[in-house]
Amino acid sequence: MGSTERELNQEHQVLRRTLSERHARVVRLDQDDLEFDAEYEQLVADAARLIGFENQLPARLAEPKRKRSEQFVRWSWRAEAAVSAVLIAAVFLLGNTAWWLVVLVPHLLATLGGCAIKVTAARHATQAKVAAALHALCLLVALVSLGVLSVWFIIAILAGWFLIGVASDDTEAAKGRTL
């Protein structure tokens, strides 16, 4: 169990113990006692704190994984944007035809746009997979633009851009839900 999980477990146990102790005090009191109302209000407040904590628990447990995914996604998009810029420079340095810019400039713009993607707790795993797929797509772009692979692989590049674009889109329509 990680330190975050251990800390959350300890906090949960404290809240449960506090609620249990408060409940034991309320049960011992007679409803006509002056203390009963105050103790009962505290019991309800303690129960509300415990319920609130338990509602936040899944997100708090997922936070370390989300942060790792966020770093991976951010640096993946940044690295691929840098590779795209290097490929554009390589077109000019190697004396290749400027037609490759038709492929490379949109790739650069797409990867620069991806740098601003917000990594959410609900979609961090999917976004990390998309970032990993981006590496494969960028490798394909590099191999095609440097002449290692046939120009016909541009079809695969376009399909890859489409799939990554759909997977990166986190609008309600992309999730299959209607507004």
Confidence check: pLDDT of 35 > 90:
no
**What is the residue whose two structure tokens read 């011992």?**
28
Query: Tens of pLDDT along 15-27?
Result: 999 999 999 988 8
Dig out the tokens for 140 from the structure.
């394909």
Asked if the structure places residue 15 within a domain, the reply is yes
Asked if the structure places residue 177 within a domain, the reply is no
Whether the CB-CB separation of 61 and 5 falls below 8 Å is answered with yes
Angle at CA of residue 72, ends 130 and 77, nearest 5°: 60
Query: Tens of pLDDT along 59-113?
Result: 788 788 888 888 898 899 899 999 999 988 988 888 777 788 888 898 888 888 8
Asked if the structure places residue 174 within a domain, the reply is no
Asked if the structure places residue 143 within a domain, the reply is yes
What's the CA gap between 107 and 161, in Å, rounded? 8
Whether the CB-CB separation of 73 and 127 falls below 8 Å is answered with yes
Confidence check: pLDDT of 174 > 50:
no
Domain, as residue range, for 57: 3-168
Structural domains counted in the chain: 1
Asked if the structure places residue 178 within a domain, the reply is no
